[in-house]
Every structure is written in C-alpha cells, then in structure tokens.
Structure 1
C-alpha cells in the first residue's frame, strides 16, 4: 500500500484541510498505516502536482491553510490501484526472531518486553472495541459502512490475537525449563 492511496481514500471519505486530514488519519487509517504529519503534507503536494487532488485556500484562515478534494483523475487512480492484484504479504515480525533467539541464549529480559507489548495490544483492543461500540451500534446496513466495520473487526481480531500470543509466550518463559 502506499500513502498516496491512503490519502486519496481519506479525502474521498471527507474532503478537508491538511491539518484536519492529518488528525482524521491518526484516528482511522493511521491505526494500520502510519505516516507523520510531514509525510502527509509532502504527499498532498505531490498528489496536487500530479493533478489527482485540488487544494483551495480556506477563507478567513490564518497562514496558508488549504482545503483539499479529490479530482476525477484521483478517483480513477484509486479505483485502478484498488483493482490491482495484491500478492500475499510476507511475515516480518521481529518478535518471532526474538523468541527463537531467547530459546538459544535465554533467559533474557524478553518477558519484560512481552509484558509491555501485551499491555499495548490490550489497550489498542479496548480502543477498537470502543470505536466499534460508538460507530457501529447498531450494525451498519450499507455496504460502505459494512466494509469500514470489517476493517475495524480485522484490527480487533489482530489485537486480540497479539495480546493472547504475548501472554502465551510469557507463560512459556515463566515455566521452569528442562
């Protein structure tokens, strides 16, 4: 995935100024595709130069605040990219290597890291569950909302799995070794 496509998606959902977009990005797409505000502003400039979005000055705003909207060429690019075939993603998870290394050189302080990771995943899980309760109760009936809910449910399952995985690894590390 690329940041330009994430930004086009966010702008189609709701046009707005770069600062608004960056804030919304942090609270939605940013949960599974991170970008700094600097990266977002840089990419908005590239998208505009490519004729995929249009920025207009915001009346009465201080500085050079601009509101952005997606142009037909941007919508076409997003449709093209969405239809593109995606290969399965390889797993690249540092924790898996650390656990294998722990088996070879342990004991180390890896249980402390796992405790912190488990807490992080439980916190994120609660955040996602709160979003689900707030935004998807009752369950949506329109397809667009159902797809957004499906993405959120994938995040819920991921966080639930990762917290349980960390807890299982901690239990194994706490057990007496042979």
Structure 2
C-alpha cells in the first residue's frame, strides 16, 4: 500500500485542504497507516502531477494559499485498480522477540520492565479505541454499510490490542517464574 491510496480513500470520503486532510488522517487512517504532515503534502503534489487529484483555491481561505483537494476519475480508477490487487500479509518483525529468544538461551535478561512498558502502551491504545467506539458507534446508532465497515476496522484494532495485552500478560507470568 502506498500513502497515495490512503489519501485517495480519505479524499473520496471528504474533499479537504491538505491541513484538514492531515488532521483527519491522524484521527482515522493514521491508527493503522502513519504519515507525517510533510509526507502527506509531498504525496498530494505527486498525486496532482499524476492527474489523480486536483486542487482548487479554498473559497473560505481569504488571503492564504489554502487549497481543497478533489479526486479525479483517474484517481478513482487508480484506487479501484489497487483495491483489486491481493494485499500481502504483514510480517511480524520485532526485535524484542529476538531478545526473548536470547533470554531463553542465556538466562534472565531483565526484560520484565520492557514487557510491562509494552503492555501499557497496548492498554493505552485499547482505551483510545474503546473511547472512539463509544463516541462514534453508540448502541442503537445509525447503521449504514459505511458505518458498519468503519466499525469493523475499529474492531480489528480493538482485537489486535486485546491479543497483544493477553500475550504480554502470559509473557510477564512466564518470565516471572523462577
């Protein structure tokens, strides 16, 4: 996946200025695909040069150079082409797992504090996802296909964090054994 495809998706949801797009991106797609605001602006320029999007001066911008970006048919076609491709499965590449292997081979290496720190970060993320779920997907709320898909994506994040928390709890227990 490229940043361009994430941006095309976001712009199809709502045409935006670069600034507004970056803010929305941080609060939604940014939970599973990170990009700096500088990367977003750079990619918007490339996408415009490729003919996937166009920008227009924002009518509410006054004297600023604020522009609103819109997806062109070529951008929609590119997103459809990309979405039809098989997505590669993500691979776990975590240096900490090698440290655990080293702990198993040469004895206790004092990894408990790192396990607890990592567990706490996943717990923080889970709390954030639960807060988003409570705010954006209340029981009995509107249930369009788009909202159900958005909730499904959020549930993937919730289950991901829950899985890691359970794993860290087991790892802490195992490493605490004498």
Give the TM-score taking structure 1 as reference length.
Answer: 0.92
Counterpart for residue 11 of structure 1: 11
What is the correspondence of 1:9-158 to structure 2 with a 5 Å cutoff?
A: 9-59=9-59, 60-137=61-138, 138=140, 140-158=142-160
Tell me the CA shift for residue 76 of structure 1. 1.1
SS in 2 for 1:25: helix
Runs in 1 of length 4+ with deviation above 6 angstroms?
Answer: none
User: Given the superposition, is the C-alpha separation of residues 170 and 66 from structure 1 closer, same or farther in structure 2, using an over 3 Å criterion?
Assistant: same
Q: Secondary structure at the match of 2:157?
A: helix
Tell me the CA shift for residue 90 of structure 1.
2.7
Question: CA 1:158/1:147 → structure 2, altered by over 3 Å: closer, same or farther?
Answer: same
**Runs of 5+ unmatched residues, structure 1:** none
Query: Aligned to 2:165, which of 156, 163, 166?
Result: 163
Are the aligned partners of 1:128 and 1:152 in contact in 2 as well (CA < 8 Å)?
A: yes
Change beyond 3 A, Cα 1:141–1:42: same
- 1:87 is paired with a residue of what secondary structure? coil
Deviation at 1:99, TM superposition (A): 1.4
For residues 121 and 73 of structure 2, what CA distance do their matches in structure 1 show? 40
Gaps of 5+ in 2: none
Q: Deviations over 1:119-155 (max 9, x none)?
A: 1101110110111111111355321111111110000
